[in-house]
């Protein structure tokens, strides 16, 4: 089992690249949105989820991945097969 320092050193460049990709995407959204600031309902909800995800990443705890997964997951519905035509 790796210790915390080994994990950090072994994944630093990969994680840095992923964070830069997220930051660049958020920048592109901001630039493209411009002064209008208007999104349709679905896009507004998606943008809010991204903001919530960043807040989760900035929080402490060892359950951030679980909280992110729950944030982006659908609630379980008994009739999901019918909804998706399966």
Domain positions in the chain are 1-37, 39-76
End-to-end CA distance of the chain: 42
Angle at 22 (CA atoms; ends 45, 31), nearest 5 degrees: 70
**36 falls in which pLDDT band (50, 70, 90)?**
low
- Give the Cα separation of 78 and 73 in Å (integer): 15
Q: Distance (Å, rounded) from C-alpha 31 to C-alpha 38?
A: 13
Residue with tokens 């919530």: 52
Whole-model pTM? 0.80
Distance between CA atoms of residues 23 and 5, nearest Å:
25
Under the banding of pLDDT at 50, 70 and 90, the label for residue 3 is very high
């Amino acid at each position: 089992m790796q210790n915390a320092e080994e994990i950090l050193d072994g994944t630093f460049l990969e994680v840095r690249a992923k964070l830069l990709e997220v930051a660049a995407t958020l920048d592109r959204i901001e630039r493209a949105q411009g002064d209008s600031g208007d999104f349709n309902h679905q896009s507004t909800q998606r943008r809010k989820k991204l903001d919530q995800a960043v807040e989760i990443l900035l929080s402490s705890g060892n359950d951030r991945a679980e909280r992110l997964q729950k944030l982006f997951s659908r609630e379980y519905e008994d009739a999901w097969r019918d909804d998706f035509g399966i």
